[in-house]
Amino acid sequence: MSNEFRNGVAFSIAITAFAFVVIAMVVGDGKQISEPSFEVVDQYKECDVVRYAPDQVAEYKYFLHCEDKQHTSQAADKNRSFEYD
């Protein structure tokens, strides 16, 4: 085999591998990145207990959200997933 032939084969393999890598990066795995979610899970002293779930993390953070309850109580009731007895 000549050097020119080996160089041509090596160059063709390198170009093909590069093309496959670029295609794989463009196509990706098809998974959608979930967005952070906020959910009212309870109520404490006229405030909503809100559970925050950051995207791509297996943990929850909780905080209190207090404001004028006349305007937000109906929306909070729709989002509440459970209540304590």
The structure's pTM equals 0.39
**pLDDT tens, 6-50?**
999 999 999 999 999 988 888 776 666 567 788 899 998 889 999
How many domains does one find in the chain?
2
Report d(CA 64, CA 79) in Å as an integer: 15
Q: d(Cα 3, Cα 41) in Å, to the nearest integer?
A: 71
Q: Is residue 65 part of a domain?
A: yes
Strand partners, 40: 50
Question: pLDDT at position 34, please?
Answer: 67
Residue 85 lies in a domain: no
Element spanning 42, H or E: strand 37-44
Task: Please tell me which residue, 1 or 71, carries the higher pLDDT value.
Answer: 1
Q: So what's the pLDDT on residue 58?
A: 78
**Co-location of 69 and 51 in the same domain:** yes
Backbone angles phi, psi at 20, to 5 degrees: -65, -40
Find the domain containing 55 and state its range. Answer: 37-79
Answer positive or negative: Cα dihedral of 71, 48, 75, 83. negative
